[in-house]
């Protein structure tokens, strides 16, 4: 019979840097936090966050067969200094689409589990579906949720993608680890738009990542001033984190930065990008969902 140690070892053998097992029940006040966050309007235009709130905090509402949840972390960090004059793109978008990469790795984990136990069934989520990945990652002991709302993975930092595998088999749960943010407020103080309105509370309406990726329509005068030369996404609150300074290390998966050189362009070079070339450049990339028109909007806002 497979043990929890077996499950974690199988996950690490697939290239994940951390893995843990959580109960399907969230023992924290995640439901209260989420409802208050939405009530405050911090979800901005992301209306999907207002749906299935009960399922997000209790997966058994929709998946009553779940006995345990495997949560994994995949490191995407690359220690690369951006060239002077190039427009900035978040590290997570330097390569191929992380949704597919993490999902494929989790499929391999599930297949190996099925080889050992044909009765095992699972459901995979990678930043999709009504699952609070961060809360389950914390409960599974992968790390703690920092004041910038990202999960800080022990020995690796927060430049990691999370993946979730719901399982119909019971495994021993891991215990949460201590929150080690302490008195540090670097992420809060260095955010140019003041998006971190309180420790652990992000107002998406002011977040550069939200503005450049999720927001529809044109930018307001304030929003234009907040962009800080970011064409897509933002890494500031992670770049200033002392734990990332200490723990962040280069990923072993080159797919996470396989188009970096093609993305290091000056504003003039980006202006010359056609819609056809956009489709080619961002094929199998998370950036593709942005679509050409919004990338162009971001570009014009920066060079105005």
In a domain, 46, yes or no: yes
Tell me what pLDDT residue 66 has.
Answer: 97
Give yes or no: residues 154 and 195 share one domain. no
In a domain, 85, yes or no: no
Calculate mean pLDDT across residues 93-116.
97
Give yes or no: residues 192 and 162 share one domain. no
Give yes or no: residues 226 and 103 share one domain. no
Give yes or no: residues 153 and 193 share one domain. no
pLDDT band at 113 (very low <50, low <70, confident <90, very high): very high
Give yes or no: residues 127 and 18 share one domain. yes
Please report, for the chain, how many H helices and E strands are present, in that order. 14, 10
218: buried, middle or exposed (CB in 10 Å: 19+, 13-18, 0-12)?
exposed
- Using alpha carbons, list the distances in angstroms from residue 55 to 58, 66, 113, 286: 5, 13, 26, 25
Q: Are 36 and 49 in contact (CB under 8 A)?
A: no
Give yes or no: residues 263 and 227 share one domain. yes
| In the predicted structure, residue 5 carries a pLDDT above the cut 80 | yes
| Selected catalytic residue, list 6, 108, 127, 258 | 127
| 127 belongs to the catalytic site | yes
Residue 193 is part of which domain span?
A: 186-236+258-303
Tell me what pLDDT residue 112 has.
Answer: 97
pLDDT digits (tens, 9 = 90+) for 235-291: 999 999 999 999 999 999 999 999 999 999 999 999 999 999 999 999 999 999 999
Q: Mean of the per-residue pLDDT values for the chain?
A: 95
Calculate mean pLDDT across residues 42-60.
85
Give yes or no: residues 199 and 297 share one domain. yes
Give yes or no: residues 117 and 196 share one domain. no
Annotate 13-29 with DSSP letters as a single string. HTT-SEEEEE-SB--SS
> 299 phi and psi, to 5 degrees?
-60, -50
d(CA 202, CA 32): 15
Give yes or no: residues 75 and 193 share one domain. no
Tell me what pLDDT residue 123 has.
Answer: 97
In a domain, 252, yes or no: no
Give yes or no: residues 26 and 110 share one domain. yes
pLDDT digits (tens, 9 = 90+) for 126-138: 998 889 999 999 9
pTM comes to 0.96
4 vs 35, more confident: 4
Give yes or no: residues 107 and 203 share one domain. no
The total number of structural domains in the chain stands at: 2
d(CA 261, CA 37): 38
Give yes or no: residues 210 and 119 share one domain. no
In a domain, 179, yes or no: no
Calculate mean pLDDT across residues 42-58.
84
Q: Are 126 and 147 in contact (CB under 8 A)?
A: no
In a domain, 198, yes or no: yes
């Amino acid at each position: 019979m497979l043990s929890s140690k077996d499950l974690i070892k199988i996950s690490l053998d697939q290239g994940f840097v951390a893995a843990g097992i959580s109960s399907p029940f969230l023992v924290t006040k995640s439901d209260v936090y989420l409802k208050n966050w939405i009530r405050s309007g911090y979800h901005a235009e992301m209306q999907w966050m207002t749906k299935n709130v009960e399922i997000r905090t209790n997966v058994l509402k929709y998946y009553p067969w779940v006995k345990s949840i495997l949560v994994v972390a995949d490191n995407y960090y690359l220690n690369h200094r951006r060239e002077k004059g190039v427009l900035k793109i978040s590290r997570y978008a330097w390569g191929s689409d992380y949704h597919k990469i993490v999902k494929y790795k989790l499929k391999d984990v599930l297949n190996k589990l099925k080889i050992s136990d044909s009765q095992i069934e699972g459901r995979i989520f990678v930043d999709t579906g009504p699952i609070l990945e961060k809360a389950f990652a914390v409960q599974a002991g992968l790390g703690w949720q920092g004041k910038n709302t990202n999960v800080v993975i022990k020995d690796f930092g927060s430049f990691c993608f999370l993946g979730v595998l719901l399982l119909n088999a019971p495994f021993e749960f891991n215990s949460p680890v201590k929150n080690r943010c302490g008195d540090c407020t670097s992420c809060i103080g260095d955010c140019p738009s003041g998006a971190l309105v309180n420790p652990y509370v992000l107002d998406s309406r002011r977040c550069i990542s939200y503005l450049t990726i999720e927001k529809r329509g044109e930018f307001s005068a304030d929003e234009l001033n907040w962009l800080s030369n970011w064409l897509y996404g933002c890494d500031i609150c992670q770049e200033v984190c002392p734990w990332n300074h200490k723990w962040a290390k280069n990923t072993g998966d080159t797919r996470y930065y396989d188009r970096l050189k093609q993305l290091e362009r000056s504003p003039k070079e980006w202006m010359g990008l056609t819609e056809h070339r956009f489709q080619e450049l961002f094929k199998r990339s998370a950036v593709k969902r942005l679509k050409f028109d919004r990338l162009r909007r971001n570009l014009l806002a920066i060079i105005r």
